[in-house]
């Protein structure tokens, strides 16, 4: 295993338990909560030599994409004043972008590692479902939840994966070796699209695919039902202690019918069958991470920001967000690389090779 440099500073999303350190989950309900045990992923990183230098703020209970937290403040975006840092792992991304940490731990249920990584111009990796331990992390929607690394480059994400997954082995690939499908370029704003196209051009063997973007209105019911179940005993009993946006989301989720939830679950199963068939013959899928650069505070839409990330939580596939140059307002664009479950090392290897190619151009 490639050990981190001595004193490598780790920021831990405050959704993960840390023994003896206050862990709020971004909620006023847990303002004084001090766990007795440390989350397994945090323990593994600390055992490998990472030094936990602080807990990172987040969207309340990780249920949002802006990290505008009514209890602990809005996470600032170090790249641009007045822009969101993204969420829900906004504090983790901001700590990296501000130089306050060398590595960070986040969680991702519909894009919550990759969205803030894109907003803050850092690297975020959502591993295959179940690969990285999620024990000791407050659940959002358990069948969608992933824990994963965030860093300023792919090499550091690889190093964290070696600590988080005993026996994980990184590989090397040449961009020319990979058969790459390109999708969703038309969903992005003009300069984001241009930067992602330039990144995609680094793969000689590429072809555009007609891959549909999942409709949140259609798949979201199953997710929202799981969130409501995760908050049993807290909501509605302590509804007044929630921030307005999360309280509204839980209220709406509580009104879902069984038929809506079942239709959502059937759609998810269909996607899990259809997407691998569509990508047959390809090694990798390349898309924009977000359709836009980091929005202004107060203007971050969950529907917009999860539009291109959520598919890989529905399927459980590994997905990497990688900055790929300046776009609208000079803010970073981000390219997303994904592959079928279990091909985490391939996604990271492709990301490392693409990172080098972008730096050289």
Question: How does pLDDT run across 80-138, given as a tens digit for each residue?
Answer: 999 999 999 999 999 999 999 999 999 999 999 999 999 999 999 999 999 999 999 99
**Nearby residues of 258 by Cβ (< 8 Å), 6 or more positions away:** none
Judge whether 259 counts as a catalytic residue.
Answer: no
The whole-chain average pLDDT of the chain stands at 97
324 φ, ψ (degrees, to nearest 5) = -135, 25
Judge whether 88 counts as a catalytic residue.
Answer: yes
Residue of 337, 309, 277 whose CA lies nearest to 119: 309
How many other C-beta atoms are found inside a 10 Å radius of the C-beta of residue 200? 21
Q: What is the pLDDT of residue 263?
A: 97
> Distances from the Cα of 83 to the Cαs of 94, 103, 292, 294, 322, in angstroms?
11, 22, 12, 6, 19
**Nearby residues of 357 by Cβ (< 8 Å), 6 or more positions away:** 175, 202
Given the residues 27, 112, 230, 334, select the one marked as catalytic: 112
What's the pTM? 0.97
Judge whether 334 counts as a catalytic residue.
Answer: no
Instruction: Give 99's Cβ-side CA count (13 Å radius).
Output: 1
Q: What is the pLDDT of residue 114?
A: 99
Q: What is the pLDDT of residue 361?
A: 85
Cis upstream peptide for 353 (omega within 30°): no
Task: Pull the structure tokens for residue 80.
Answer: 């641009």
Is there a contact between 121 and 112 (Cβ–Cβ < 8 Å)?
no
| Paired sense of beta strands 68-69 and 73-74, if any | antiparallel
**DSSP sequence for 70-109:** TTTEEPB-TTSTTBB--SSSHHHHHHHHTTS-SEEEEEES
**Nearby residues of 43 by Cβ (< 8 Å), 6 or more positions away:** none
Spatial separation of the C-alpha atoms in residues 166 and 208, rounded to whole Å:
36
Task: Pull the structure tokens for residue 193.
Answer: 């699209």
Question: How does pLDDT run across 149-169, given as a tens digit for each residue?
Answer: 999 999 999 999 999 999 999
Tens-digit pLDDT string for the chain (361 aa): 788 888 899 999 999 999 999 999 999 999 999 999 999 999 999 999 999 999 999 999 999 999 999 999 999 999 999 999 999 999 999 999 999 999 999 999 999 999 999 999 999 999 999 999 999 999 999 999 999 999 999 999 999 999 999 999 999 999 999 999 999 999 999 999 999 999 999 999 999 999 999 999 999 999 999 999 999 999 999 999 999 999 999 999 999 999 999 999 999 999 999 999 999 999 999 999 999 999 999 999 999 999 999 999 999 999 999 999 999 999 999 999 999 999 999 999 999 999 999 999 8
Spatial separation of the C-alpha atoms in residues 223 and 221, rounded to whole Å:
5
Is there a contact between 346 and 174 (Cβ–Cβ < 8 Å)?
no
**DSSP sequence for 23-41:** --TT-GGGTT---SS--HH
129 by DSSP, 3-state: which? coil
Q: What is the pLDDT of residue 7?
A: 87
The phi-psi region of residue 208 (left if phi > 0; otherwise alpha if psi is between -120 and 50; otherwise beta) is beta
Spatial separation of the C-alpha atoms in residues 118 and 298, rounded to whole Å:
18
Given the residues 27, 67, 88, 89, select the one marked as catalytic: 88
């Amino acid at each position: 295993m490639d050990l981190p440099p001595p004193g490598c500073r780790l920021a831990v999303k405050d959704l993960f338990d840390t023994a003896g350190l206050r862990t709020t989950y971004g909620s006023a309900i847990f303002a004084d909560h001090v766990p007795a045990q440390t989350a397994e992923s945090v323990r593994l990183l600390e055992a490998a030599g990472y030094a936990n230098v602080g807990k990172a703020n987040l969207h309340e209970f990780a249920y949002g994409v802006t990290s505008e937290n009514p209890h602990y403040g809005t996470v600032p975006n170090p790249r641009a004043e007045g822009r969101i840092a993204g969420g829900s792992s906004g504090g983790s991304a901001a700590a990296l972008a501000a130089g306050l940490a060398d590595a960070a731990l986040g969680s991702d249920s519909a894009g919550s590692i990759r969205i803030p990584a894109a907003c803050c111009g850092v690297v975020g990796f959502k591993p295959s479902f179940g690969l990285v331990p999620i024990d000791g992390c407050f659940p959002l929607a358990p069948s969608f939840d992933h824990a994963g690394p965030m860093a300023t480059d792919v090499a550091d994400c690889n190093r964290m994966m070696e600590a988080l997954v005993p026996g994980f082995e990184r590989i090397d690939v040449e961009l020319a070796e990979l058969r790459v499908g390109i999708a969703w370029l038309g969903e992005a704003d003009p300069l984001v699209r241009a930067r992602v196209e330039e990144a995609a051009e680094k793969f000689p063997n590429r072809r555009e695919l007609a891959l549909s973007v999942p409709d949140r209105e259609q798949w979201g019911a199953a997710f929202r039902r799981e969130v409501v179940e995760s908050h049993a005993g807290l909501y509605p009993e302590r509804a007044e202690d929630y921030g307005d946006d999360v309280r509204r989301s839980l209220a709406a989720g509580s009104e879902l019918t069984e038929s809506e939830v079942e239709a959502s679950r059937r759609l998810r199963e269909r996607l899990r069958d259809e997407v691998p068939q569509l990508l047959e013959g390809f090694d990798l899928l390349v898309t924009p991470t977000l359709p836009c650069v980091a929005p202004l505070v107060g203007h971050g839409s969950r529907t917009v920001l999860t539009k291109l990330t959520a598919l890989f939580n529905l399927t459980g596939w590994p997905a990497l967000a990688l900055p790929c140059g300046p776009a609208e307002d000079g803010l970073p664009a981000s390219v997303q690389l994904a592959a079928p479950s279990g091909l985490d090392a391939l996604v990271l290897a492709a990301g490392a090779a693409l990172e080098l190619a972008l730096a050289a151009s």
